[in-house]
Amino acid sequence: MRLTMPFALLGLGIFLATPVAAADKLTLLLDWFVNPDHAPIIVAEELGYFAEAGLDVAMIAPADPNDPPKLVAAGEADVAISYQPQLHIQVDQGLPLSRIGTLVATPLNALVTLADGPVDRVSDLRGRKVGFSVGGFEDALLGAMLGHHGLSLADVELVNVNFALSPALLSGQVDAVIGAFRNFELNQLALEGRPGLAFYPEEEGVPTYDELIFIANNAALGDHRLPRFIDAIEAGTLYILNHPEESFGLFIEGRPELNDELNRLAWQDTLPRFALRPAALDTARYDRFAAFLEAQGLIGPPPPVADYAIQLPR
């Protein structure tokens, strides 16, 4: 996608006569189209942190969010952005993937309903329709949240609305949606003049987890490009923390289509959620979530966390 950028940086480097080693290529598969969740990556790219680390990062946005993990597992890409809950399922299905870093360290997923709608509490969902986009574990999330209030999945009608979560809610076709990101869809609804009411999984009986993580193929964990990549991400994250306004300017640099009210609002809401220590791993957190998924019947007995999540040695 942003292939012109690395070339420009390389040219700049030569012009400045800074000794730069020939950059290593790295393919990064995003989870979705470029959005504020990717801020540290974009900022690292724009500020040349990747180039300084000797990396030429090619960012590719997939049409189907289910593809990136498969492609990394098949060796077709180096790193992908995925979701911690998905990782547990992928590992359970035998994909040779491991988490090598965290991008967003809190859940973003939320159960969202319209503030002016008939649902004020989770228990009001009895007999109602809940829309979801197929992520593979949304019903587990919803099931746990409903169970927290004495309901079960059988008490609601689940409808696949693909990724049109807000339209489905706004048109009244469904009474709530699961799989909406609290930093995005809530702002989207507010901009439409119909603010949403969100219920957060971590407040409703679901163990907390990392929403967005970096994953790589198990065979490539010793690759020395990976720690350099994570370090650049860390530098980008710190810059955003220290210079939020300038960072947004870098984010929309050359991407005018992202310079709108929705992205600005989402940006503000996402900033506090980036992993301040992208490389750091909380093993107990992963254990806890794996146990949760196993209890929900989504995966079999989970392997030790070390088999699928590591802290890269630097």
Task: Note the residues at the interface with other proteins (CB under 8 A).
Answer: 66, 69-70, 73-74, 89-90, 93-95, 129, 131, 134-136, 157-162, 164, 167-168, 171, 173-174, 298
Is the CB of 35 or the CB of 90 nearer to other proteins?
Answer: 90
Nearest alpha-carbon partner for 181 in 277, 38, 60, 58: 38
Identity of the residue, 10 or 61, whose beta carbon is nearer to other proteins in the bound complex: 61
Q: Which is nearer to other proteins, 156 or 275 (CB)?
A: 156
Q: Minimum CB separation from other proteins for residue 235, in Å?
A: 33
Give the nearest distance from C-beta 205 to other proteins in angstroms: 22
Neighbours of 287 (CB within 10 A): 15
Q: How far is the CB of 223 from other proteins (least distance, A)?
A: 20
d(CA 14, CA 47): 16
**129 vs 264 by CB, closer to other proteins:** 129
Alpha helical stretches, state H, 224-310: 225-242, 244-251, 261-270, 283-295
Whole-angstrom distance, CA of residue 289 vs CA of residue 240: 29
Q: With respect to other proteins, which residue has the nearer C-beta, 86 or 237?
A: 86
Do 41 and 233 contact (CB within 8 A), yes or no?
Answer: yes
Under 8 Å between Cβ of 170 and 189:
yes
| CA angle 266–189–244, rounded 5-degree value | 15
Q: Are 289 and 84 in contact (CB under 8 A)?
A: yes
Residue listed under structure tokens 């801020």: 39
Which of residues 156 and 310 has its CB atom nearest to other proteins in the complex?
Answer: 156
Helices 39-46 and 225-242, axial angle in degrees (round to 10)? 100
160 versus 259: smaller Cβ distance to other proteins: 160
Q: Which CB, 18 or 93, lies closer to other proteins? A: 93
CB 206 within 8 A of CB 144: yes
d(CA 265, CA 197): 17
Among candidate residues 126, 133, 139, 131, the one with its CA nearest the CA of residue 113: 131
Residue type, 218: N
The dihedral built from the CA positions of residue 141, 145, 150 and 151, taken in this order, carries a sign that is negative
